[in-house]
Structure 1
Amino acid sequence: MHRIAIALALAGITAFAHGNADIYTIDPTHTAARFEYNHLNWTTQAHRFDQTIGKIQFDRAARTASVEVSIDARTVNTGYPVFNGHLQGEDFFDVARFPVITFKSTATRFDGDKLVAIDGDLTIKGITKPVSLTVTSFQAGPHPIQKKRESIGANAVARVKRSDFGMTKVPVVSDDIQLSFAVQAFKD
């Protein structure tokens, strides 16, 4: 069932090549979507989703890019099955009604050849809000191991409020959530 939702989400990612842009497919085995929050003002907890797919358009010469990502919310992974089930419930991700989280870029910013920021629309639980990702590292070129394959590697972070996405019934968890993404993608 997880694969069906991911396949449907990927089918929704449109071919968005423009000009000389190359299209890259996200490598799900080297890509991670994570989130962190303060719990009881005692600790920062960090968790992840195990299935992320998507496409990146990148035109090195024009210094343009765009990103479309789908995350299977049912694959939330805390390391504890009971807590996974709690986060999948109505108070948090409500995966029965909203199994997919999406991010679609609306603008990108470069500093020279380096991508430094991605603005876009994040949709969680059917609610879409603008989010700005700060790109903390960016590499594009031949893959270090698979040297003949063009690839992209990037890390990005953003802060959101869980209440903006309808997660309001949780008094012991901070409203401020840090999102972090580690992405590797190969040229199609």
Structure 2
Amino acid sequence: MKKLIAFVATAAAMMTALSAHAAPETYVIDNSHTFARFSYSHLGFSTQESRFNNTTGKIKLDRAAKTGSVDVTIDTKSVNTGSDLFNSHIQGADFFDTAKYPTITYKSTKFNFNGDTLASVDGNLTIKGITKPVQLTVTSFKCMPHPMAKKDACGANATATIKRSEFNAGKYAPNVSDDVQLTFSIEAIKE
């Protein structure tokens, strides 16, 4: 009987250890519910807000190990300022130079947790061929079964502030602010 109890206890401990070390799960970004936005002060008159309409990528997450990665690509030609004329202007060489640099990328280097909550993501942001480290502050994060897709899904909101001049896009600074607030709203469905 003692051997049976010891075996059951050992098996339970092994099952607990295995469940604590679950393999990372991969989630594909849902482009119809994921938007990268940017905002900046325009001459001190107002805060201008724009977004990119096409974002793709994958997120890997191991919640038990508190690790993960994100690899995101933003189509710079999908910039949406609310004005066709300004969309063309901001795609020019002084800003995104979309003819030469059709994408912006963000590749994580580390997920940072506060307890069980994802608090921030360290990574490298590449704009116009220039790569800089950028930490995203995660303001909300949730994983659960998606009620319509019938698969697990994760969603997050994250922010960061960058200086556009560091990415060779600083025309009109400081009148048009050099500081640009980035906001990412991401939803991803498990593969």
**Alignment TM class, shorter chain as reference:** 0.7 to 0.9
Return the offset for 1:146: 2.4
Return the offset for 1:168: 2.3
SS of the residue corresponding to residue 86 of structure 2 reads: helix
The correspondence for 2:158, drawn from 156, 173, 180, is 156
Segments of 5+ residues of structure 2 without an aligned counterpart are 1-21
Letter in 2 for 1:131: V
The correspondence for 1:139, drawn from 138, 142, 146, is 142
1:11-50 map, 5 Å: 20-50=23-53
Q: TM-score, normalised by structure 2?
A: 0.86
Segments of 5+ residues of structure 1 without an aligned counterpart are 1-18
Matched-pair identity in %: 55
Matching of residue 112 in structure 1 with residue 107 in structure 2: no
Matching of residue 126 in structure 1 with residue 148 in structure 2: no
CA–CA separation in structure 1 for the residues paired with 2:36 and 2:67: 23
SS of the residue corresponding to residue 44 of structure 2 reads: coil
CA–CA separation in structure 2 for the residues paired with 1:181 and 1:84: 20
Letter in 2 for 1:21: P
Runs of 4 or more above 6 Å deviation: none
Q: 1:3-59, CA deviations, whole angstroms, 9 ceiling, x for partnerless residues?
A: xxxxxxxxxxxxxxxx70010000000000000000001111100000000000001
Q: TM-score, normalised by structure 1?
A: 0.87
CA–CA separation in structure 2 for the residues paired with 1:165 and 1:147: 38
**Considering only CA atoms, is the larger Rg found in Structure 1 or Structure 2?**
2
CA–CA separation in structure 2 for the residues paired with 1:168 and 1:26: 30
RMSD of aligned Cα (Å) = 1.4
Preserved contact between residue 91 and residue 170 of structure 1 (Cα < 8 Å): no
Preserved contact between residue 142 and residue 148 of structure 1 (Cα < 8 Å): yes
Return the offset for 1:173: 1.1
